[in-house]
Amino acid sequence: MTEPVSPQRFRDKVAVVTGAAQGIGLAVARRLVAESASVVLVDRSELVHEVAGELRENGGQAHGVIADLEQFAGAEAAMAEARQQHGRIDVLINNVGGTIWMRPYEHYDADKIQAEVQRSLFPTLWTCRAVLPYLIEQRSGTIVNVSSTATRGINRVPYAAAKGGVNALTASLAMETAQYGIRIAAAAPGGTEAPPRRIARGPDGATEREKAWNRQVVDQTEDSALMKRYGTPEEQAAAILFLASDEASYITGTVLPVAGGDLG
């Protein structure tokens, strides 16, 4: 379990983490549990139950929910289950998303463009809408959306557009909901090293041309970071948990780049 900054920082808080079966979402869930949150892990993979079980074995309070968050019905059902399990939702971390294909824009067909936006914008739109009635009723709550500094990058234009939408959603929804005591913020990760994915995000780049396009993204990402390296899931989780915590009580409508100096 991840070493906590403050073991009691999320005591008595209920946190929902989407895309929690692996990668940044898993790092966030582990750290929330380590800092005493009751965590609901949402993913469309059965793997989420295994992860929740491991967290419980380590003494954490964790519950897994399977849902397809690319559909509003899935988001609505997941938020309803979290509310039913715990009676409230204090924190929502919207982590679902990620580039499926990397290529110059002229090589995306219409289906790929739509799939990228469906993957990286709609889950956040849907879950924000699904959780909002609960937070308004409570007159409290925090949403942290996971964006990306790839909003200014190469070979991922549809993904960049989707994450730009996440940034706009964050700013606009923060303006609407501050009157209810709700905060909405976003973290924008840069390149992040992670263990090999247990669930493939999309088809592997099998051709030499596809491998070259992928390499261009890696090179540009490293070059754009002042620190000239990729981050770790734990470094991303640290920033996300700060924004989710009461330590960030005067922060809303803000996108925080977490990218080694790349502002996106």
142 and 91 in contact (C-beta within 8 Å)? yes
Q: Considering 108, 134, 159, 230, which one is annotated as catalytic?
A: 159
Q: In what order do the strands lie in the sheet with 14-18?
A: 61-66, 38-43, 14-18, 91-94, 141-146, 182-189, 255-258
Among residues 209, 233, 226, the alpha carbon closest in space to that of 260 is found at: 226
Distance of CA 260 to the CA centre of its chain: 18
Strand partners, 41: 17, 64
252 and 184 in contact (C-beta within 8 Å)? yes
DSSP code string of 90-145? -EEEE-----S----GGG--HHHHHHHHHHHTHHHHHHHHHHHHHHHHHT-EEEEE
Active site residue 159: yes
182 and 155 in contact (C-beta within 8 Å)? no
90 and 246 in contact (C-beta within 8 Å)? no
SS3 state of residue 49: helix
SS3 state of residue 40: strand
Residues carrying an active site annotation: 159
